[in-house]
A and B are shown apart, each in its own frame.
Chain A
Amino acid sequence: MSETMHSQDLINFTLNGEEVSAANGDNLIDACEKAGVEIPRFCYHKRMNSVGMCRMCIVEVDTGRGPALQPSCMLTVSEGMAVNTESETTKKAQDGVLEFLLLNHPLDCPICDKGGECPLQDQTIAFGPGETRFVEEKRHFEKPISINENVYLDRERCILCDRCTRFADEVVGDPLIHFIDRGNATQVNTFPDDPFASYFSGNVVQICPVGALTAKPYRFKARPWDLEEIESTYPNPLGDRITIQSSRDQVLRFQGLDKESVNWGWLTDKDRFSFQAFQSEYRVQEPLVRGGGLNRPDRNGLGLVASSWSNVLTMATDAIKQTVPDRIAVIGGSRLTNESQYSWTKLAKGIIGTDHVDASLGDELPPQAILGLPKTTVNEVCSAGNTVILIAPDLKEEYGTLYIRLRHAALENDVKIIELSPTETGLSNVAAITLHPRPGEIAKVVHSLLTGEGPVEIGGIPKELILQAHELVKDRDLKVVYGKQSIAESDQPIIEALSLLKRNPNSKFLPLVRRGNAMGAIQMGMAPGLLPGQVTLAEGSEAFNDIWPNLPNKQGMGTEEILQSAADGMIDVLFILGADPLSDFYDPELVEKALTTVKSVISVDLFVNASAYHADIFFPASAFIEVNGSHTNIEGRITPIRKKVTSPGTTRPDWMIAAEIANRLDHDLRIEKPEDVWGELSPRSISHANVSMDSIGATPEGQLLESTDVIELEEIEEISDTRPFDSYSLRLVLAKRMYDRGTVTQMSPSLKEFTGTSQLHINPTDFKAMGIQNGKPVLVTAGDRNLTVLVIPDKRIPRSIAFGYLNQTGEDLRTLLIKGADSIDIRIDPTSRVG
């Protein structure tokens, strides 16, 4: 049973003769550790339920009935308990267990990846018997078997601690590895030919206490004693804490870092193994320009040739100088550190003087919906007994570690999740109730959920079901975790739903943003009409005027409008900051037109992605492992990003590129190092008032931003009418998958294969009713748009819904999107195909 109670009361117990205190309810093994006595263990892991399997942690415990050997990982410390971790009996028993564990363990430490950081090896050296009395033959298994693209399993080394199998089952709900066979023949394995297809498989490598599970991308790369490491943050929306480990200036591993606040040491495979991407041969290491440039050869056949920094800087600044601020725009910026974001906002808004800056790619909620609601934290959401309203895309696909946290909260902490999602998600089976509102109709459903009122059917959901959910939410303080669920749906219904939820004065909100540091981007003013520190352009100008000389005085355009005016020939210089609108924006045709129309497209990125392919000038940027700075997560928590390796080639940190452009524009950005940003910002921003580079790193959990009430989500008067649903159609939902054609996945050899092909998923009953033939692509129409694509039956999709993942290989499902529609209905013609 995991520790759920954080009781303040202390109790006293005796540890090796000394009186010590512990938090009431603590596991004995933890209580001893806090008191400075480390009890050896293999199966115990503080983020999982104890199983008491390895027996290594047995110690003599006396609770008044005489000393008895007890596994300290399964025992709750209690008042007056006398614990002896050093007695003869304890030592003998522990040595015995260690001997047992070593009986069948191969002695291949010298070639084992775990050698040097192996608890079993450490224990053996510290206390072990030194020589074996076991003269019989050891257990034999086929040497490492591959259990998925990333992980090897060596069953001979396995000590059956149940950590990996517990993780798969309990922590992530993917019980695809399991104990097989019995007794002395027990092994961990998958079902024959069924790989351990989990988005989280790399975690088992990290928690394996021996070298039974190893990561292919790390295999034989280094020995632990050659590794240097630094604590940092993975720039994903949750800001997962990691250590970056490198050897000889090469990153070899990301490991999850177990801090209380965010990811608890867990990582998704996508993030964990993405270090490969930063070392990819496709990483751009020098500036590129289109055409002749310095007469360098076009090695990649991209039409882009290598150039020099001074050349590209001159070209870029010339382009800027040749036009007016209103014809300059910046899209993207969510990949950047807070400091780089500030620098670019300052460059664009304060120096060039354009407010056409937007980090969002049209798949985020607008800033007022993200900033304008009372905030909560992940830990607060996951606290015992809470009621959580989840209006989000499938967390398992997009916010892996938050999925883990919420799943834990539901299973172990009695948190009731009321899920409102157009389809089943990874969390549905632990949610107290799941409602499937039809896209576009969520506000009606939320209204009914909160009031218990409504017709017999609301947004595709029978009223009784909503009433059941109503019982769970009424009179409760709600924690709302929300984000944009589908790009085939307008923001309005969700905004209205949020506004209804906000009426409950005790509701608190956790917004989900899609891209790495999108929260930082908003906080740093990378949106039209905003300035750093959650203030509007109008209200904040005064504070910034002195150092941002050219601040525009009217609100600029957002991404959609920028692209539209670019396509219309109204934009001359378009910066794309670490973004790929061509792949991500909902209207690729518009993006294509914009990119080909704009005079100078300037990309700042690590790779030549689909959009950057159209660039005229390409600035090669540093990756997060190569820079110092910080990150803001969805909670508004700022944590450090730390440089571990040298930036390759002539790549430079994003902030530095901004500073150099400013310089060529005859302005001093006054940012010579990331720290300088805080010197400027803290005095000017209420929410960043106490933030400095030092303060961010000073606490283990980072620094939570104060929220201001400058920006607030507007109250709605009335729920908008929704388009009637015609029962011959299917309503479209388009969402993201963990693996897509994005650069991180594509540039990481061991992740690349996980990208799927585009297809539409529909309910098996609909599938049958329509008479669709298995395996044959069919014609799908939405208004005057159509597409021939594979349609498959999928139990997780409710009736009348068609669901698809974005940015997979094959057909582009965005073809079906209609501009400006609040939702999209499609029809499937099972008999014809587009020729």
Chain B
Amino acid sequence: MSRLNEESLRIANEIINRYPIKKSALIPLLHLAQEQEGWVTDQAMRHIAEILGVTPAEVLGTCSFYEMFKRSPVGEYQVNVCHGISCHLLGAENLLHHAEDTLGIKEGETTQDGKFSLEGVECIAACTEAPCLQVNYRYQNKVTTSDFNELVQEIIDGERSDIPKHGSLAKVRQNISPERLAGIEPVEHAEQPEWLNRNGQDS
């Protein structure tokens, strides 16, 4: 079963309620699906389409536009070596080749045991820390080849609990208790907010 499970559905509903138009929740829901399975399955896309009242083709259209969504299984650890210009200047290609040799796979591939996938990616906004990489979107800065070896070993040895499995993007989610929610105005027929008329002295 790779439709959204009950827990994901519960979160999904919370998320949907934060947007005036349901379809806005599409990307967050795809993240949820990816979190559940490690990748986005066709069944999950169909399920999301159902939930949001759009067609599966529309879900796929959006899903396939964004690089973070994987539509086939990837490794438990997605290693993204940055090859943006700053990292390029400081040896990103070397690092990437080293990573290929170490993991025994080419860029874009997954190790046979399903542990690692490797990708060369565009700038990840850590340019002063070049060369850098992300494992499941957790940064590793100024990575030397031996740093890389160490990192891989630590992951294999289960010593990197700071890196969650692929898909779980953020460990902290936004929660809004219903009492605190200001409330979503409908896209049509909303009125001017009251405070705009205030004279500013009443607080």
Contacts and interface: CB of A to CB of B under 8 A. Distances in A.
Contacts of B54: 175
A260 interface: no
Interface residues of A, number: 14
Nearest to B61: A178
Contacts of A192: 42
A179 B42 CA distance: 16
B65 A178 contact: no
A179 B61 contact: yes
A282 interface: no
Given A191-B45, A192-B42, A175 B57 contact: yes
Nearest to A182: B65
Interface string A169-200: 00000111111111000000111101000000
Contacts of A181: 64-65
A191 B57 contact: yes
A191 B65 contact: no
Contacts of B58: 175, 178
A180 B71 CA distance: 12
Contacts of B65: 179, 181-182
Contacts of B45: 191
A192 B40 CA distance: 14
A186 to B, nearest CB: 9
A109 B54 CA distance: 37
Given A191-B45, A192-B42, A176 B64 contact: no
A194 B56 CA distance: 8
B156 to A, nearest CB: 33
Nearest to A192: B42
A191 B56 contact: yes
A429 to B, nearest CB: 9
Interface in B31-54: 42, 45-46, 54
A180 B60 contact: yes
B56 A182 contact: no
B67 to A, nearest CB: 8
B55 interface: yes
A204 to B, nearest CB: 14
B64 A191 contact: no
B39 to A, nearest CB: 15
Contacts of A191: 42, 45-46, 55-57, 59-60
B64 A175 contact: no
Contacts of A180: 60-61, 64
Interface string A794-815: 0000000000000000000000
Nearest to B67: A182
A417 to B, nearest CB: 15
A194 B57 contact: yes
B75 to A, nearest CB: 22
A40 to B, nearest CB: 28
Contacts of B55: 174-176, 178, 191, 194
B22 to A, nearest CB: 13
A178 B65 CA distance: 11
Interface centre among B45, B58, B64, B65 (most CB of A within 10 A): B64
Q: Which of A182, A190, A192 has the most CB of B within 10 A?
A: A192
A189 B64 CA distance: 12
Nearest to A180: B64
A178 B56 CA distance: 10
- Which of A174, A175, A178, A189 counts the most B-chain CB atoms under 10 A from its CB? A178
Contacts of A177: 57
A180 B65 CA distance: 7
A796 B45 CA distance: 22
A60 B64 CA distance: 35
Nearest to A187: B64
A501 B42 CA distance: 49
Contacts of B59: 191
Contacts of B42: 191-192
A182 B57 contact: no
**Which one of A174, A176, A177, A191 has the greatest number of beta carbons of chain B within 10 Å?**
A191
Contacts of A174: 55
A180 B55 CA distance: 13
Contacts of B56: 191, 194
Nearest to B63: A180
A181 B65 CA distance: 5
Q: Tell me which of A174, A182, A194 has the highest count of chain B C-beta atoms within 10 A of its own C-beta.
A: A194
A180 B60 CA distance: 7
Interface string B106-148: 0000000000000000000000000000000000000000000
Nearest to A165: B61
Nearest to B45: A191
A200 to B, nearest CB: 15
A179 B57 CA distance: 9
A177 B58 CA distance: 8
Most chain A beta carbons < 10 A, residue from B58, B59, B60, B61: B61
A169 to B, nearest CB: 8
A177 B60 CA distance: 10
Contacts of A189: 57
A179 B64 CA distance: 9
Contacts of A176: 55, 57
Contacts of B64: 180-182
A676 B46 CA distance: 60
Nearest to B59: A191
Nearest to A168: B57
Interface string A716-748: 000000000000000000000000000000000
A192 B49 CA distance: 14
Interface string B164-200: 0000000000000000000000000000000000000
Nearest to B58: A175
A181 B64 CA distance: 5
A194 to B, nearest CB: 6
Interface of B: 42, 45-46, 54-61, 64-65
**Across the A-B interface, the 4 shortest Cβ-Cβ residue pairs:** A178-B61, A191-B56, A178-B57, A191-B57
7 contacts: A175-B54, A175-B55, A175-B57, A178-B60, A181-B65, A191-B56, A194-B56
Interface of A: 174-182, 189-192, 194
Given A180-B60, A189-B57, A191-B45, 10 more contacts: A175-B54, A175-B55, A176-B57, A178-B55, A178-B57, A179-B65, A191-B46, A191-B56, A191-B57, A191-B60
